[in-house]
């Protein structure tokens, strides 16, 4: 059992008031709050070892380099990565996907096919559309059903010898659906297709094992995992990373530069041009340590308890409809109340201290599928409580009364 009262003390922001009301933060799918150990680590970096990395022989540079690379080592352990150089630091999930999509340009030709799913965030749609525009490849979409699950039988029909890349999310940010990615990966590999997994919404909530999944690429972001913004990672199998051309050019990613020719550095630096977000890279490691201290199994079990509780309580509100009722879900509830615009509900509950997300959540195709402009999204973390959910239901009832 988690000691939620003690855990909440680790997050200073939860103690404040918003609009004169105690803050209830239910926007964790957008970004998570940061524990004090993470906040303190940011200050410590700038006060104690601020320096550029990988290039200096002086002590501060070596200390900063060691701290930065320690996070890469933690990621290797966390996700059961075979080689440490298969971890590439990026600005986050979006850049990781763009890196792969851009670097595949020379390997994709006209009439090749790329498969994504109807549940994707725009970040896992647009980069593949751009790749198709550059190469003449065709984009195919795995459809979804009314409860927000992918129709795997239709995926089977899409797969063929022309399929080169399959890119799907591990967990839907809009609906919370946990996709059967291990099954998807296995099916895609039968056709020698490369599989990229958008793991932004999975890594904060569950244990992920890259060797068990056998994915070719996996992407995630620190800021979803109680760490700083501006840092994330791309995991890629060594063979594929060696085949791909660099996404960015500049310092750090070179072995030798002449005006006639440049040769690239070995992995992972081949894909890490320029001065990185050093502070965030170091502090990302602190966030990983904090997650492991709490325990991902403990987090998953408690957040599922919150999801079940909130679903039951919220459905007692007359006219409330939940979008995304998959059998396997993360702690996300996307909903509307009658014909009331989600923005109006969100604005009122904000005045009552509740932080929720409203709109299309960067998943306009999902909203079009349901024939709506958007939803209100409440997304829970392990520092949330059932008491907050009870108060949220009261706030929703009040908003409904005011807007009806």
Q: In 10 A of CB 261, how many CB atoms?
A: 7
Residue 62 φ then ψ, to 5°: -70, -40
Closest CA to 282 of 43, 64, 57, 54: 64
Q: In 10 A of CB 291, how many CB atoms?
A: 20
In terms of Cβ atoms closer than 10 Å to its own Cβ (0-12, 13-18, 19+), residue 3 is: exposed
Q: Residues 132, 215, 219, 362: which is the catalytic one?
A: 362
Distance CA 175, CA 184 (A): 19
Residues 6+ apart with CB under 8 A from 282: 41, 45, 64, 67, 68, 70, 71
Element holding 87 (H helix, E strand)? strand 87-90
Q: Are 260 and 112 in contact (CB under 8 A)?
A: no
What are the contacts of 126-131 at 24+ separation with CB within 8 A? 127/97, 127/98, 127/100, 127/101, 127/102, 128/101, 128/165, 128/167, 130/101, 130/102, 131/101, 131/102, 131/104, 131/105
Integer CA distances (angstroms), 174 to 39, 66, 145, 192, 365, in order:
28, 38, 15, 30, 11
Residue the block writes with tokens 């409809």: 321
Residues 6+ apart with CB under 8 A from 349: 356, 392, 395, 396, 399
Q: Beta strand pairing status for 254-257 and 262-264?
A: antiparallel
Distance CA 199, CA 87 (A): 14
215 in catalytic set: no
Closest CA to 169 of 132, 133, 144, 192: 144
Which residues are annotated as catalytic? Answer: 362
């Amino acid at each position: 059992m988690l000691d939620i009262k003690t855990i909440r003390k680790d997050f200073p922001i939860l103690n404040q008031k918003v609009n004169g009301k105690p803050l209830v933060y239910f926007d964790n799918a957008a970004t998570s709050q940061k524990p004090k150990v993470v906040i303190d680590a940011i200050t410590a970096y700038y006060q104690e070892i601020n320096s550029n990395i990988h290039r200096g022989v002086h002590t501060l540079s070596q200390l900063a380099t060691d701290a930065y690379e320690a996070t890469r080592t933690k990621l290797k352990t966390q996700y059961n990565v075979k080689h440490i150089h298969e971890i590439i630091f990026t600005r986050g999930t979006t850049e990781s996907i763009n890196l792969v999509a851009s670097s595949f340009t020379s390997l994709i030709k006209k009439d090749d096919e790329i498969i994504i799913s109807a549940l994707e965030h725009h970040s896992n749609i647009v980069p593949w559309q751009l790749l198709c525009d550059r190469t003449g490849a065709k984009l195919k979409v795995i459809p979804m059903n009314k409860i927000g699950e992918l129709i795997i039988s239709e995926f089977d029909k899409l797969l063929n010898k022309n399929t080169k890349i399959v890119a799907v999310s591990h967990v839907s940010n809009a609906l919370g659906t946990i996709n059967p990615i291990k099954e998807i990966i296995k099916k895609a590999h039968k056709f020698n297709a490369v599989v990229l997994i958008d793991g932004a919404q999975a890594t904060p909530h569950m244990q992920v094992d890259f060797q068990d999944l056998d994915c070719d690429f996996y992407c995630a972001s620190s800021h979803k995992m109680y760490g700083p913004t501006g840092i994330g990672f791309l995991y890629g199998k060594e063979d594929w990373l060696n085949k791909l051309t660099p996404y960015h050019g500049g310092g750090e990613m070179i072995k030798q530069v002449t005006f006639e020719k440049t040769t690239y550095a070995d992995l992972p630096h081949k894909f890490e041009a320029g001065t990185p977000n050093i502070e965030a890279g170091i502090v990302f490691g602190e966030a990983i340590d904090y997650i492991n201290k709490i325990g991902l199994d403990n987090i998953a079990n408690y957040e599922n308890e919150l999801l079940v509780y909130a679903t039951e309580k919220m459905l007692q509100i007359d006219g409330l409809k939940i979008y995304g009722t998959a059998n396997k879900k993360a702690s996300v509830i996307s909903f509307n109340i009658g014909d009331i615009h989600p923005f109006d509900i969100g604005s009122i509950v904000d005045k009552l201290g509740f932080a929720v997300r409203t709109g299309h959540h960067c998943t306009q195709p999902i909203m079009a599928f349901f024939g709506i402009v958007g939803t209100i999204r409440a997304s829970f973390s392990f520092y949330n409580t059932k008491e907050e959910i009870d108060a949220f239901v009261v706030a929703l009832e009040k908003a409904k009364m005011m807007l009806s």
